[in-house]
Amino acid sequence: MKVTVDEDRCCGAGQCVMLAPDVFDQREDDGIVVLLEAEPDAAHHTAVREAADVCPAAAITVHEDS
Amino acid sequence: MTLSEPGTDELHYPLPAPDPLDPPKEWAELRDRCPVATVTLPSGDHAQLLTRYDDVKQVLSDPRFPRVGGGQGARISDSGGVFDSDMASALPQSGPAHQQWRRLVMRWFTAKRMAALRPRIEAMADSLIDEMLAHGQPADLKAALGFPLPVWVICTMLGVPDSDRDRFSYWSDTLLNLTRYGRDEIVAAQTEFLGYMQAHVQAKRAQPGDDLLSELTTEPTADGTLLTDAQLVGTGQGLLVAGHETTANMISKMVAMLLADRRRWEQLLADPSLVRTAVEESLRFDANPGIGMPRYIAEDVALGSAALPAGTTVMCSMGAANRDARAFDGAEEMDLTRSPNPHLSFGSGPHSCLGQALARTELQVTLEVLLRRLPGLDLAVPVEELQRVEGLAVGGLRELPVRW
């Protein structure tokens, strides 16, 4: 799994950090997403998919094949 | 039932709902047969009501479509209140300036900040429940816990002393109510709140504390400018209005939904790890979320259901969209394990709720504390006897009588 994030789209909702804190963080000065793990371990895949599905700004893209 | 078409019977909005926890019967039929429906607002102006998930999400996500107000788009009501407020217009409502303001405030609402605030919220919930227990049963959970908790949290974030919590509750109630208060009362409350907040902002400038407003008095936006007093007051108002009554009512509605079919409560007692998904499902399943989000369609747009011409005012019903079977399996069932749950209760896109991590934290903490402290919690009246609050931009229950 490969994950990309779009900082311009991000609205700082924080759902991704609440769901997968090992993969996502938020910048302290403005709450915008920080990707900690572009290729997260299998243990995080379910949470990462959920984070992408519920992101209100559609700012997270999950590439399952790579 | 006759759905509203131009020239036929008018569909008055908000739609009446027969039962306290069930949606208006029109939702399902509107979604299926008339997903863009002409409605008459309390002001007498008209709007197009959107009820399908994809349509509502598309409009809310589109940065070209601002909120109504300032003479743009239909008026919601004649009595003023939050949708006609001048104070909110001190803040940039769209575009890069809005984004700068949002990002400045956003740092106070990150998931990490909320996690750090969690123990304090838990202590507040525990202390409010202590008080409720001391008064004995039955009790009104809304008055004892649902209403005071979020205003306590916001006052803490704004650096407002605990002793002014009750005044803040009243102000937020008048700002959000569209019919209960008269225009004079609303204007008086707005004036009073404005005066309080102006003095409060000046006091924070003179003597900064460890709170959001104090920090904002000295923290520049990305282009190096500081917020003006009017913008700081607008920020305080925005956070109070957006963060108090919404969460306050959601706490009572969530607990009511979970107790209305007590198997739900027992499911959570058996497996408290479901609290997170249960909160999301309560947000999705809320049949009384308020009137929705009005948006001004500034340019022609094609929705999945219909084309809308520029100049249209739409009312986005997130509640109806959240029960759209096109987007959710078993949409009319409350499933405490539902995941993912991309409901629209916090909106969508660049204007989606700034405080959603805070709201989620408050709802999760409240539920955890109630499950821990009052496992025997139950409604003290039959569910049919619960009464909706009428006239609020945010829907809710008048009270929530409980036993334990």
User: In this predicted model, what pLDDT tens digit does every residue of B349-387 receive, in sequence order?
Assistant: 988 999 999 999 999 999 999 999 999 999 999 999 999
Q: Residue B163: pLDDT above 80?
A: yes
Percent of chain B with pLDDT over 90: 65
Q: What is the mean pLDDT of residues B213-240?
A: 88
* Domains of chain A by start residue, with CATH: 2-63 (3.30.70.20)
Architecture of domain B79-291+327-403: Orthogonal Bundle (1.10)
Q: Is the pLDDT of residue B28 over 60?
A: yes
Query: Among B80, B212, B224, which Cα is nearest to B153's?
Result: B212
pLDDT band at B7 (very low <50, low <70, confident <90, very high): very low
Chain A residues within an 8 Å CB radius of B360: 18
**A14 touching B (Cβ < 8 Å):** yes
pTM of the model: 0.92
**A17-56 residues touching B, CB cutoff 8 A:** 17-18, 21, 25-26, 28-32, 49-50, 53-54, 56
Please tell me the distance in Å from A1's CA to the nearest CA on chain B: 18
Burial B160-182 (b: 16+ CB within 10 A, else e): beeeebebbbebbbbbbbbebbe
Three-state SS string over B98-138 comes to HHHHHHHHHHHHCHHHHHHHHHHHHHHHHHHHHHHHHHCCC
Let me know: does B318 contact B347? Beta carbons within 8 Å: yes
Q: What is the rounded CA–CA span in Å between residue B148 and residue B142?
A: 8
Name the nearest CA neighbour of B222 among B112, B113, B107. Answer: B107
User: Closest to B111 (Cβ–Cβ): which among A11, A18, A56?
Assistant: A18
Report residue B287 as tokens. Answer: 């049949």
**Three-state SS sequence of B198-232:** HHHHHHHHHCCCCCHHHHHHHCCCCCCCCCCHHHH
**What distances in angstroms separate CA B125 from CA B85, B116, B122, B227, B356, one per listed residue?**
32, 16, 5, 33, 19
Whole-angstrom Cα Rg for chain B? 21
pLDDT tens readout for residues B95-108: 788 888 888 899 99
d(CA B40, CA B276): 37
Contact A12 B109 (CB under 8 A): yes
Helix, strand, coil distribution of chain B in percent, nearest 5: 50, 10, 40
- Amino acid B206: pLDDT: 94
In chain B, the residue whose alpha carbon lies closest to the alpha carbon of A18 is: B111
Q: Does B114 touch chain A (CB under 8 A)?
A: yes
List the single range of B22-26, B71-75, B163-167, B246-250 with lowest mean pLDDT: B71-75
